[in-house]
Amino acid sequence: MRNTRSMTVAAAGAVLALGLTACGGGQTEAGGGGDGGSNEPLQMWARAATAPQSQALVDAWNEAHDRPVELTVVPTDNYLQKVGVAAGSNELPCLMASDVVYMPNFLQQNLFQDITDRVESLEFADVLAPGHINLATQDGAVYGVPHNVSVSVISQNDVLLEQAGIDPGARLESLEQLAENAAAVSALGDDITGLYYTGNNAGSISFTHFPAIWASGGQALNEDGTESLLDSPEAVGVFDAFNRMDAEGISSESVRDESGATRNDVFATGNVGYMIGSSVIGAVPESDTLVIGVQGIPGVDGGRSAFVGGDAIGISASCDDPDGAWEFLAWTLSEEAQVDVFAQQGWLTVRADLAGNEYAAEDPRIVTLNELVGEGDTPKALNYGQTFNDPNGPALTAFRDALFGDDAAAALETHNGAITASLGG
Amino acid sequence: MASSTVAAARVGPASRGPARRARREATSGLLFALPAILFVVILFVVPLVLAAWMSLNDWPLIGSPAFNAPDNYVAISENQLFLSSIWFTIKYTAIVTVIFLVISLALALLVQSTRPGIGFFRTAFLLPAAVGLASSALLFYALYNNEYGPLGDMLRGLGLVEGNADFLSSSEAAFRSTVAMVTWRFAGFYMIIMLTGLQAIPVEVYEASRMDGASWWQTLRSITLPLLKPTILLVLVLSVTGSLLAFEPFYILTQGGPSNSTVTMVIAMFREAFTLFDLGSAAAIAMVLLVALVGINVAQLYLLRDKDPK
């Protein structure tokens, strides 16, 4: 009898403890957006994919300033969900970074505060990555600034190029020249691949092939991002050039299956002449058989461009201390942060005027990448993510048919309407 | 009469005693079960109700929801990607379930004995089950890359293919490659389940069959398989449920391609939620999947129930 009673009490205690734990958890979680008060840390969210850059900035800021910034790294694939939930309960952090292509979605939902005057007051406002500023602008008002940038480039193995009789330092003048050079590299041996890129991921293909369209003088999307222009002569010319490289065996057959997961590993083998994607400097180790060079992505007949990706950052609508938040944001754009934190670690600066900084000057490849940030573009469309990051949507089908099918022009013409429909046009 | 009154007077308190004890025990039992009930309610019932409510709303990932029933359910009938994924998922489920049953039973029979060194093989067969499903898919993705992975070279070396091996480029190859990866990952796990079933069969039954002169095949057909029925049923339910909810292998290896030929029902649902940001439609698909899964499992249990009452 006593046993039964004591066990009952123990069970009740367990339930009570459970309830208290749950309540305690709720209290701890509540008030995530509260950044009021000058001594409270400023809350900041960033996605995992670019967390090292965010962390480096936060660490450098916290070392030199009284008001700390607390960074929460959110898994990249969960970022939008987390923002959506927090926005619903008005608990967004004061500082919120975002993949730049999703900025129009956030602006449409009024998740950021207008910082037009603050941005314009910066001496270097006109040299901030133009693509990022464009995507962070709505109806003439600016809601965000660039936080970090990445550019699409052609990485090349200088060792293989020299073996094929190609001057690695010579700038690629056209896609035609890329095809010729890649064919020469490919002829070096059965194991050698002339050209490699991600051919089974629409987001990656737009990252690598849109710049060729821009360099050719065309556009992939119309100005407000509601209409696909992929059936335009410039776009067709680009996809046709890559289609011929596939048909002639200049680009690897594995390109068709590459979703991006093993792209750098393939280049790291040292058996690839050219690879289009984000820069691999620092990500792929160099050796006697692999010396990495970088090139801008050329158009069909000339020019060069780049897709400027990365993250933009703004002050959320939930933030009740925008002055404190701006103080941090303005500092992240300063020469001190851009050169001493970013450039020192080999990362790109978000300001074109710092392209030739002391650290970049030691490596001409970094100078090229920094220059491309200023020359490149970032497409702006409300439905960009759900159109070009959709593995089961019309864009991937269109791209793959155009790149690996019989007729690039016919494929793009066939699927262009579906892409426009997905863009909301 | 007097004696009966006395008896009734005696029965009264005596009968109230057990009743009170029973009530007390019931209360104790409820209290003991309460933590589990709370967990089930918080982690299962509440999310289920929320998902059901979500399926009745236009629920964007960012923005305010608005009631729109039954639009999300009507939209399912017009969602060509989801509709085509139903047949593909059923085909995949049927094929891998048969493969799982045959291979796991064969492996279990192989390692059933207690010969020296058999533990090595049991461990080796089970080891892939210790690797995460997504990690396994990523591992095979690298193995299947002709530029980087060794499988293509091995097949060429054995003279099985000429030129580049086709692992993921065509619909058929992508399906075969994914089934191969999933079999590698799960065969050992189901083998262990089969092994526990096999070891539960009394040795005396086998001895009796040997005394009767039964062949290996007759023993398997008339003794092992009938007595293994509950275990086979468990494997069947686990495999069918898991395969109908297949996501990671296809999402990582094929991303539903080429040309959407390997899109499973969960990939179609995931796309609605996290690519198209339409949580309401995704929740509606989830509810349909839930009802279908419950129905399929009830049907399986009914069809394979023990028809010989003991």
Domains, in order of start, for chain A: 42-150+309-375 (3.40.190.10), 151-307+383-423 (3.40.190.10)
Tell how strand A292-295 and strand A145-157 pair up.
antiparallel
Chain A residues 88-107 with CB within 8 Å of chain B: 88, 105-106
A400 touches B at CB < 8 Å? yes
Query: Is the model more confident about A12 or about B88?
Result: B88
DSSP E strand stretches across chain B: 57-58, 66-67
- The residue of chain B nearest to residue A87, with distances taken between CA atoms, is B62
pLDDT at A378: 93
State the ipTM, two decimals. 0.76
Tell me the sheet residues that pair with B300: none
- Decide if A386 contacts A422 (C-beta within 8 A): yes
- The residue of chain A nearest to residue B65, with distances taken between CA atoms, is A88
pLDDT at A267: 96
Q: What whole-number percentage of chain A has pLDDT above 90?
A: 77
Q: What angle do CA A239, A244, A248 make, to 5 degrees?
A: 150
| Distance (Å) from the alpha carbon of B179 to chain A's nearest alpha carbon | 17
Q: Spell out which residues of chain A touch residue B259, defining contact as CB-CB under 8 Å.
A: 397, 400
Q: Is the pLDDT of residue A297 over 80?
A: yes
Of A158, A159, A251, nearest in space to A197 by CA: A251
pLDDT, mean of residues A86-115: 92
Using one digit for the tens of pLDDT, what is the confidence trace for A343-377? 998 899 999 899 888 998 889 999 899 989 888 99
Tell how strand A297-298 and strand A304-305 pair up.
antiparallel
Q: Is the pLDDT of residue B148 over 90?
A: no
Task: Tell if the CB–CB gap between B255 and A4 is shorter than 8 Å.
Answer: no
pLDDT at B163: 78
Residues 6+ positions from A178 with CB-CB distance below 8 Å: A154, A172, A195, A274, A298
Q: What angle do CA A220, A223, A226 make, to 5 degrees?
A: 75
Using one digit for the tens of pLDDT, what is the confidence trace for B94-128? 999 999 999 999 999 999 988 888 999 999 999 99
A177 touches B at CB < 8 Å? no
- Decide if A156 contacts A177 (C-beta within 8 A): no
- Decide if A230 contacts A423 (C-beta within 8 A): no
Identify the DSSP state of A371. H
Task: Tell if the CB–CB gap between A262 and B141 is shorter than 8 Å.
Answer: yes
- The residue of chain A nearest to residue B268, with distances taken between CA atoms, is A392
Give A287: exposed, middle or buried? Use CB within 10 Å, 0-12, 13-18, 19+: exposed
pLDDT, mean of residues A163-192: 96
A170 touches B at CB < 8 Å? no
Query: Is the model more confident about A84 or about A117?
Result: A117
Query: Is the model more confident about B148 or about A34?
Result: B148
Nearest to B28 among A8, A258, A269 (CB): A8
Residue keyed to tokens 């022009």: A409
Of B158, B157, B151, B159, nearest in space to B177 by CA: B151
- Decide if A297 contacts A310 (C-beta within 8 A): no
Task: Tell if the CB–CB gap between A396 and B257 is shorter than 8 Å.
Answer: yes
A393 touches B at CB < 8 Å? yes
Query: Is the model more confident about A316 or about A9?
Result: A316
Chain A interface, mutation test: which of B41, B62, B146, B266, most A Cβ atoms within 10 Å? B62
Q: Is the pLDDT of residue B159 over 80?
A: yes
- The residue of chain B nearest to residue A398, with distances taken between CA atoms, is B259
Nearest to B148 among A88, A265, A390 (CB): A265
A169 touches B at CB < 8 Å? no
Q: Spell out which residues of chain B touch residue A111, defining contact as CB-CB under 8 Å.
A: 62
Residue keyed to tokens 């100078």: A367
pLDDT, mean over chain B: 90
pLDDT at A166: 97
Q: What whole-number percentage of chain B has pLDDT above 90?
A: 75
Q: Is the pLDDT of residue A10 over 50?
A: no
Of A308, A269, A304, nearest in space to A285 by CA: A269
DSSP codes of every residue in A171-239: PP--HHHHHHHHHHHHTT-TT-EEEE---S-HHHHHHHHHHHHHHTT--SB-TTS-SB-TTSHHHHHHH
pLDDT at B162: 81
Question: Measuring CA to CA, how many Å separate A292 from each of A264, A267, A363, B193?
Answer: 12, 10, 12, 51
Q: Is the pLDDT of residue B208 over 70?
A: yes
Task: Tell if the CB–CB gap between B62 and A269 is shorter than 8 Å.
Answer: no
Instruction: Spell out the CATH class of B80-303.
Output: mainly alpha
Question: Measuring CA to CA, how many Å separate A300 from each of A233, A263, A305?
Answer: 11, 24, 12
A368 touches B at CB < 8 Å? no
Residues A173 and A178: their CA atoms lie apart, in Å, by 8
Residues A217 and A211: their CA atoms lie apart, in Å, by 10
Residues 6+ positions from A30 with CB-CB distance below 8 Å: none
Number of H helices, E strands in chain B: 15, 2
Q: Is the pLDDT of residue A24 over 80?
A: no
Q: Spell out which residues of chain A touch residue B146, defining contact as CB-CB under 8 Å.
A: 252-254
Residue B9's pLDDT band (boundaries 50, 70, 90)? very low
Task: Tell if the CB–CB gap between A392 and B260 is shorter than 8 Å.
Answer: yes
- Decide if A266 contacts A141 (C-beta within 8 A): no
Nearest to A7 among B28, B34, B145 (CB): B28
Residues A177 and A154: their CA atoms lie apart, in Å, by 13
Residue B5's pLDDT band (boundaries 50, 70, 90)? very low
Cis peptide before B70 (omega within 30 of 0): yes
Residue A38's pLDDT band (boundaries 50, 70, 90)? low
Q: Spell out which residues of chain B touch residue A200, defining contact as CB-CB under 8 Å.
A: 255, 257-258
Task: Tell if the CB–CB gap between A400 and B259 is shorter than 8 Å.
Answer: yes
Using one digit for the tens of pLDDT, what is the confidence trace for A205-242? 999 999 999 999 999 999 999 999 999 999 999 999 99
pLDDT, mean over chain A: 89
Q: Is the pLDDT of residue A77 over 90?
A: no
